[in-house]
């Protein structure tokens, strides 16, 4: 028997230092320990190394080292007394492997998916169509969501009214059962109650014992300013109920096209057709914006395709600061049909104007002439 603080080892000399087993320095942080163990466990896991006694022995060794070093009290004792610390107290040894703590099982489960949680309810996906303005400026929309809602007949218990709901005797109401898989104990969803932990004697007729029926629920959802077409918002806990919690509601936002506006990031694009006389003489235009009509000065001699910028009349930058602009493209419209009188006037006008009133055309003709000579 080892004396406290002594260096007498009752275990075989071959027992390796725990830090050495995990390949970490003595001062390793809990995170470093966890990471080192994960890496080793992944390599050595019995599922990956079937019937390999060497890997199994190493896995046991690593698990034991991690079990001790991940527990601050045990680690302190180990740091002071080495392996001797556990000789008297019946601590973990290679032979007694069944006594793993919650931490270890949790870690193993987390790593290998061996430990199944009670099933969470499903996420419910819906689409909501909003106007261009609502997406740009933000809004609150009400939507109808078809999803499982608590059954009114049994008030969600799943049992026929007046009959009992017992605790599932297979899992004692825990919803999961434990089983031994090679080296460690793990858990899975109870097959008898499918994780609910309850046993219903006479199922409710309306919901066939499920506790919920398909129903419609009205929900208000906030549309954030600047949101783009196809964006998704998650409403936590508004999905389908399940034994392990309620799923989420995933709302995809669809933005309806606008008759006059298009979007380019935070900018609003808009094309305003003007007549030839307006373009020549200038005018004041009524231009629609997200916040209503504004007056925009069209200077004389505005060319078709000219873009005017209305600062700050765009869309708030999504999730950021500031606003975009509105870009107004002027389109000089050529009349498609003219009557006889108009045709005559335009012909007279053409004669009157010549090419000197059209510098771009004149420049083009000069260059063309040079090219041909």
The pairing of beta strand 292-298 with beta strand 326-333: unpaired
The residue within the footprint of Zn ion, chosen from 32, 49, 153, 304 (CB under 5 A), is: 153
Choices 48-56, 108-116, 198-206, 250-258 (CB under 5 A): range interacting with Zn ion: 198-206
Cα angle 160, 163, 168; round to 5: 100
The residue within the footprint of Zn ion, chosen from 151, 223, 253, 327 (CB under 5 A), is: 151
Residue 369's Cβ-count burial label (10 Å; 0-12, 13-18, 19+) is exposed
Distance of CA 113 to the CA centre of its chain: 22
Which of 38, 118 has the CB closer to Zn ion?
Answer: 118
Give the separation between CA 17 and CA 12, rounded to whole angstroms: 12
> Would you count residue 159 as binding Zn ion (CB under 5 A)?
no
Closest approach of Cβ 110 to Zn ion, in Å? 23
* Cβ atoms of residues 101 and 184 within 8 Å: no
Closest approach of Cβ 195 to Zn ion, in Å? 7
Which of 151, 268 has the CB closer to Zn ion?
Answer: 151
Closest approach of Cβ 119 to Zn ion, in Å? 12
> Would you count residue 200 as binding Zn ion (CB under 5 A)?
no
The residue within the footprint of Zn ion, chosen from 108, 126, 130, 154 (CB under 5 A), is: 154
Q: Which residues of 269-308 are buried (b: 16+ CB within 10 A; e: fewer)?
A: bbebebeeebbeeebebebbbbeeeeebebeeebeeebeb
Choices 91-99, 152-160, 265-273, 301-309 (CB under 5 A): range interacting with Zn ion: 152-160
Cα angle 167, 169, 174; round to 5: 65
The residue within the footprint of Zn ion, chosen from 170, 202, 304, 329 (CB under 5 A), is: 170
Which of 40, 193 has the CB closer to Zn ion?
Answer: 193
Element (H or E) spanning 270, and its range? strand 267-275
Binding residues for Zn ion, rule: CB under 5 A, are 151, 153-154, 168, 170-171, 190, 192-193, 204, 206-207
């Amino acid at each position: 028997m080892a004396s406290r603080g002594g260096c007498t080892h009752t275990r075989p000399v071959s027992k390796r230092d725990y830090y050495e087993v995990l390949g970490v320095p003595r001062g390793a942080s809990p995170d470093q320990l966890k990471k080192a163990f994960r890496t080793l466990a992944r390599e050595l896991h019995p599922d990956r190394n079937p019937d390999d006694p060497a890997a199994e022995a190493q896995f046991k060794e690593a698990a034991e080292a991690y079990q001790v070093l991940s527990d601050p009290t045990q680690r302190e004792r180990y740091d002071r007394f080495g392996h001797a610390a556990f000789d008297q107290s019946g601590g973990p040894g290679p032979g007694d492997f069944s006594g793993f703590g919650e931490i270890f099982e949790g870690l193993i489960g987390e790593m290998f998916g061996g430990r199944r949680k009670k099933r969470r309810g499903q996420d419910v996906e819906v689409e909501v169509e909003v106007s261009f303005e609502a997406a740009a400026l933000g809004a609150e929309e009400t939507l109808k969501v078809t999803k499982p809602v608590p059954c009114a007949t049994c008030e969600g218990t799943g049992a026929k009214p007046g009959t009992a709901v017992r605790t599932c005797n297979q899992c004692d109401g825990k919803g999961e059962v434990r089983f031994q898989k090679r080296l460690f104990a793990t858990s899975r969803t109870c097959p008898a109650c499918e994780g609910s932990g309850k046993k219903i004697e006479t199922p409710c007729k309306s919901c066939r014992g499920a506790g919920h029926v398909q129903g419609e629920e009205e929900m208000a959802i906030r549309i954030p300013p600047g949101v783009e077409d196809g964006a998704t918002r998650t409403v936590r806990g508004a999905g389908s109920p399940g034994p392990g919690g309620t799923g989420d509601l995933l709302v995809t936002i669809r933005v309806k096209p606008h008759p006059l506006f298009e979007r380019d990031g935070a900018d609003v694009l808009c094309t305003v057709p003007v007549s030839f006389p307006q373009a020549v003489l200038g005018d004041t235009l009524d231009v629609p914006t997200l916040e209503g009509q504004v007056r925009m000065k069209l200077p004389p001699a505005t060319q078709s395709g000219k873009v005017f910028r209305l600062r700050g009349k765009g869309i708030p930058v999504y999730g950021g600061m500031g606003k975009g602009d509105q870009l107004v493209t002027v389109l000089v419209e050529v009349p498609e049909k003219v009557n006889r009188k108009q045709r005559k006037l335009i012909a007279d006008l053409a004669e009157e104007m010549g090419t000197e009133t059209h510098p771009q055309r004149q420049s083009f003709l000069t260059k063309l002439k040079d090219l041909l000579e």
